[in-house]
Amino acid sequence: MSASCAISLNRLPDPKHVPAERAAAEGVQICRRLATQVEAVQIRRRLATTSPAPFVPDLGALLHNLSIRLSEMGRHEEAPAATEEAVQVFRQLAAVNRAAFEHRSAESLNNLVRCS
């Protein structure tokens, strides 16, 4: 388990209210989900460089969701970077197709305010 996941485990619910085994299992699941989300962002970023049209919108959505997960885990230093990248992606998409992407840009901007 990475050090950052170990730090995040300290932010789980109060152990007085959750059995230790359950809290540890939940912490491991949270770290696995985060690792999976990070991997998905890396894959989409790579795909977006060769085929932007189908993958850039997905990259923006994954970055948006990653920032929410980081924030939920108490990793407030990392969350804004993912959100800022999502905002940048959706702003660029909205510049080309406002009707399809402006709302996603607004959602990411709102998320940026919440995680900053």
pLDDT at 38: 94
CA distance 111 to 42: 21
CA distance 31 to 45: 21
pLDDT at 87: 96
- Average pLDDT, consecutive stretches of 10 residues, N- to C-terminus, the chain (116 residues): 46 52 72 92 96 96 94 89 96 96 94 84
CA nearest 64: which of 97, 103, 6? Answer: 103
pLDDT at 53: 94
Long-range contacts of 89-95 (CB under 8 A, 24+ apart): 89/56, 89/57, 89/59, 89/60, 89/63, 90/60, 92/56, 93/56, 93/57, 93/60
pLDDT at 37: 94
Query: Domains of the chain: which residue ranges?
Result: 3-115
